[in-house]
Structure 1
Amino acid sequence: MTKAITLDSLMPYFGCIALIMAGSLFFPQILSADYLLQQLQIAAFLGLLATGATIVILLGHIDLSVPWVLTGAAIISTALVGSGDPILSAIAIPAALLFGAFIGIINGVGVAILRIPSMVWTLAVNSILLGLAVLNTGGFNPKGEASPLMVGMASGNLFSIPLGFLLWMAIAACLAFFLLRTPFGRYLRSIGYNEKATFLSGVSTPSVIFVAFAIAGMCSALGGVLLAGYANQAYQSMGDPFLLPTIAAVVVGGTSILGGRGSLFGTIGGVLFITLLTSILSVMQISDAWRNMIFGFVILAMLLFQTLRKGLHNE
């Protein structure tokens, strides 16, 4: 599918409007510009993660190493800044992005070369990163601080629009161009539909998988850098709350969990929907347990909807 805008990708935007209208009946401040701009700022963190996750899911794979790629990048960037060395501080963000790309390539090796299911391999990588972080910090919160650039990226604004949101939109636009206008995008979707047939047609499928996982790793790392800038520090397990919402945002945005079909336009809508839903549930003082259950139900509902639509289309 080469269309960026489909009914599936539009649904989360309709959902956002419904959430805002319904929420405003109980909390009128939801309609204020300050509240909505704050939601865009918060959405940027999840948006970067979901953007990378979409690339991998279009392959028909999944990346469960997101939490500790995010946390690892935050620890690396804040540690370099906290070292007090101007040179190390200057390379803090590039080092974090290289870390994300490196882990992404490791994920690609496991999936494309060793042929281990992505769910198992990336979960194992996530566990290894957790162990390495605990060994490095002794189980305590890591030392370090965010640089002014990291703080500005996460909390600054341009003409009242959060810089984090603008950065997310710029990255999403660049990746959308590659998905829609370059051979990489066609190969990515073809692998999602049928990897074996794509390989037999002459495409270097391992290379595409490497690049896709590397992009996802860099997006997760950048999300970690922004979160560290927002909190002005890194802390243990800061990425753990983001795994389920990341997958939920991609699925709600209409991307097929089986690969081959979906768009970043839909993912953006899914991120905004999940962010608004989370905010409204927080305002209503819904517990984390119920919030996770609601995310699970949302994912299941969208999967059922996609399955029914596919069945009706095939008929």
Structure 2
Amino acid sequence: MTSSTTPGDRMRRFPKIKGVEPAVLIAFGCILLLLVVGAIYSRNFLSATYLLQQLKVASFLGVIATGTMMVILLGQIDLSVPWVVTAGAMMACAAASFGPVGVALAVPVGILCGALIGLVNGFATAYLRIPSMIVTLATNAVTQGLMVVYTGGFSPQDSATPAMRWLATGEAIPVVPNGVLVWALIAVATVFLLNRTTFGRSIYAIGNRERAAFLSGINTRRIVMLTFVLAGALSAFGGVLLAGYASKAAQSMGDAYLLPAIAAVVLGGTHVLGGRGSYLGTVAGVVLITLLQSILSVMQIEEAGRQLIFGVVIVAMLLLYGRQKSA
């Protein structure tokens, strides 16, 4: 049975969102439910101060999850997030120890380190045709080894720069944390990129069917590689913000962000096999995961239990959405 639509027509159709998808509505419904549950456990849970603090914490995950979403839209996966986050934080702090020039270049240096790791991931995935799961897992291990060698196995002694601390904890607009503003700017840029540019439409097309995208004239290898570069840069930038929030980098500071980032993207309705998803859903997923983490912390559930819950959430979403691609 043939179709009258061309690969180009399908490519243009995928990024357009005619309405809010059910998964996004479910995510926002779960957010409201968590707010009610949190209010039951603590009277301060719904206070403006506490909610702004949670939004600040969510902004760091939101920046990291943005890159994760782009990679998943391709139908790929990035498992190098933990140590790309850590490397971005460590290298930004390390640059600050080289005097005024280093302080000025600290943030760009951290982001550049993540972009370079993303370049390796993207080149190996797109041009060498190595499965992204294998490549990113390997680069994560290699980056971990390099950072351990650099620090001698101890937490680095370098501190975050004033600019890093201001980006993460300052308030250019009274009451609103700068981290939230940074995430908002990245969100606007991401929505524009995915919905209004050829690059964004190409990401959706590749995730839907890479061969069809290639036959329609898209340079699929270049798009895949550049997407991994963006994902690496965003993960490293998330690490820079985390270092600014904590005033320094730490070993394994990115380990807690791999499963939450993937869970946030999947909870927001992004198709785990690529080609479908909206950034609004990712925003809802990030807020949902942050509130869930907060409630689990209030309930004194250990980290192992939290990771178990995130894993169950991802598997559940795979069962719910994993077969929609063939429909």
TM-score band (shorter)? over 0.9
What whole-Å deviation, never above 9, does each CA across 1:235-263 have from its counterpart, x for those lacking one? Answer: 11110111111111110111011000011
What whole-Å deviation, never above 9, does each CA across 1:121-141 have from its counterpart, x for those lacking one? Answer: 000000000011111111011
Query: Is 2:151 the partner of 1:137?
Result: yes
Distance 1:307 1:61 in 2: 14
Name the amino acid aligned to 2:209: N
Tell me what 1:55 maps to: 70
Aligned-residue offset at 1:193:
0.9
Identity %, equivalent residues? 50
Tell me what 1:104 maps to: 118
Distance 2:183 2:160 in 1: 19
Aligned-residue offset at 1:232:
0.6
Tell me what 2:132 maps to: 118
Tell me what 1:148 maps to: 162
Distance 1:75 1:25 in 2: 39
Aligned-residue offset at 1:161:
1.4
Query: Is 2:230 the partner of 1:215?
Result: yes
Tell me what 2:46 maps to: 31
Contact 2:77 2:133 in 1 (8 A): yes
Tell me what 2:220 maps to: 205
What whole-Å deviation, never above 9, does each CA across 1:277-297 have from its counterpart, x for those lacking one? Answer: 000000110111111111111
Distance 1:290 1:50 in 2: 21
Tell me what 2:9 maps to: none
Name the amino acid aligned to 1:115: R
Contact 1:62 1:118 in 2 (8 A): yes
**Of 169, 184, 187, the match for 1:172:** 187
Contact 2:271 2:322 in 1 (8 A): no
Distance 1:291 1:232 in 2: 26
Tell me what 1:162 maps to: 177
Structure 2 segments unaligned to the other structure (5+ residues)? 1-13
**Of 302, 311, 326, the match for 1:287:** 302
Tell me what 1:258 maps to: 273
Contact 1:82 1:143 in 2 (8 A): no
Distance 1:143 1:82 in 2: 10
Structure 1 segments unaligned to the other structure (5+ residues)? none
Aligned-residue offset at 1:307:
4.0
Q: TM-score, normalised by structure 2?
A: 0.92
Q: Which is further off, 19-28 or 189-198?
A: 19-28
Aligned length in residues: 311
Tell me what 2:11 maps to: none
Contact 2:166 2:244 in 1 (8 A): yes
Distance 1:7 1:140 in 2: 46
Contact 2:86 2:239 in 1 (8 A): yes
Distance 1:140 1:245 in 2: 26
Aligned-residue offset at 1:29:
1.1
Aligned-residue offset at 1:82:
2.7
Tell me what 1:299 maps to: 314
Name the amino acid aligned to 1:112: A
Query: Is 2:266 the partner of 1:247?
Result: no
Question: How much is the aligned-residue C-alpha RMSD, in angstroms?
Answer: 1.4
Distance 1:26 1:175 in 2: 36
**Which stretches of structure 1, 4 residues or longer, exceed 6 Å deviation after superposition?**
none
Contact 2:272 2:322 in 1 (8 A): no
Query: Is 2:86 the partner of 1:71?
Result: yes
Aligned-residue offset at 1:174:
0.5
Aligned-residue offset at 1:305:
2.2
**Secondary structure of the structure 2 residue equivalent to 1:189:** helix
What whole-Å deviation, never above 9, does each CA across 1:159-207 have from its counterpart, x for those lacking one? Answer: 2111101101110110111110111111101100111111122111111
